[in-house]
């Protein structure tokens, strides 16, 4: 995924686990979008991590990217803009990201 999104012109900053993710954000690396795999190793539960992210970064849109076809556990949580199922074809993910980035740019113009 990192390679394919980079080829589309996006700057991708990977984090292997929740502590690393939080450290990157605390160091001022606030992205336009957080693509979050809920299976990321974490000392927090998944809802706790999402709640913490939304509390400290309320303007950060969070896209849940999971193997589950539909994950209603996260869809109503603050900051979550969508849940997409992982797959080999990343075209839907790319389209979702492109639309979100365009919308964000339109709102800030």
User: What are the Cα distances from residue 106, in Å, to 7, 32, 60, 81, 99?
Assistant: 23, 13, 16, 17, 10
User: What are the Cα distances from residue 99, in Å, to 30, 86, 105?
Assistant: 19, 18, 10
Q: Note the pTM of the prediction, 2 decimals.
A: 0.85
For residues 96, 99, 100 and 104, what is the CA-based torsion angle, rounded to 10 degrees? 170
Per-residue pLDDT tens digits for 74-104: 778 888 988 888 887 888 899 999 998 888 7
User: What are the structural domains of the chain?
Assistant: 2-108 (3.40.50.2300)
**Locus of tokens 């869809």:** 75
pLDDT of 20 strictly over 90: yes
Per-residue pLDDT tens digits for 28-74: 877 888 999 888 899 998 889 999 999 999 989 999 988 876 556 77
């Amino acid at each position: 995924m990192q390679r394919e999104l980079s080829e589309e012109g996006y700057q991708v900053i990977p984090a292997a686990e929740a502590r690393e993710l939080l450290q990157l954000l605390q160091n001022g690396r606030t992205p336009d979008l957080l693509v979050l795999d809920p299976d990321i190793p974490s000392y927090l539960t998944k809802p706790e991590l999402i709640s913490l992210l939304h509390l400290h970064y309320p303007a950060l849109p969070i896209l849940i990217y999971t193997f589950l076809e539909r994950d209603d556990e996260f869809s109503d949580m603050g900051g979550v803009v969508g849940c997409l199922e992982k797959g080999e074809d990343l075209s839907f993910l790319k389209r979702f990201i492109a639309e979100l980035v365009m919308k964000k740019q339109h709102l800030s113009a």
